Amino acid sequence: MAAKKKRELLSVSEVIKEYCKIGGLAYHSIGDFCDPSDGFCDLCPNSGNPESFRNDGHIIDYVRKAVLEKLKRDGYKIARGFDPKTGKEVE
């Protein structure tokens, strides 16, 4: 098995921006804009404005489901503390 290539560490703002871009990828690819999905990085016009920020969680659920399916497909056991059917953290 080949060693993993060490990656450069990202800053907090870079991580937030990348997570927002992943949400944007799903949101814009789905193309159904009836579900509000404002992000929280500086790329989103409503970021930092609590009065106009709107996100119903649809894209978050979509991405969570995709990650869950990929983990299962790659043969990973869903980590303890997470529901294996929904991927949500078990409290």
pTM over 0.75: yes
Q: What is the rounded distance in angstroms from the CA atom of residue 74 to the CA atom of residue 68?
A: 10
CA 14 to chain centre: 14
User: What digits encode the pLDDT tens for the residues 35-74?
Assistant: 888 887 877 777 777 788 888 999 999 999 999 999 999 9
Percent of the chain with pLDDT over 70: 98
User: Which range, 22-31, 44-53, 82-91, is most confident?
Assistant: 82-91
Indicate whether 9 pLDDT > 90: yes
C-alpha 56/C-alpha 32 separation (Å) is: 13
| Residue, of 82 and 5, whose pLDDT is higher | 82
Question: Containing H/E element for 16?
Answer: helix 12-30
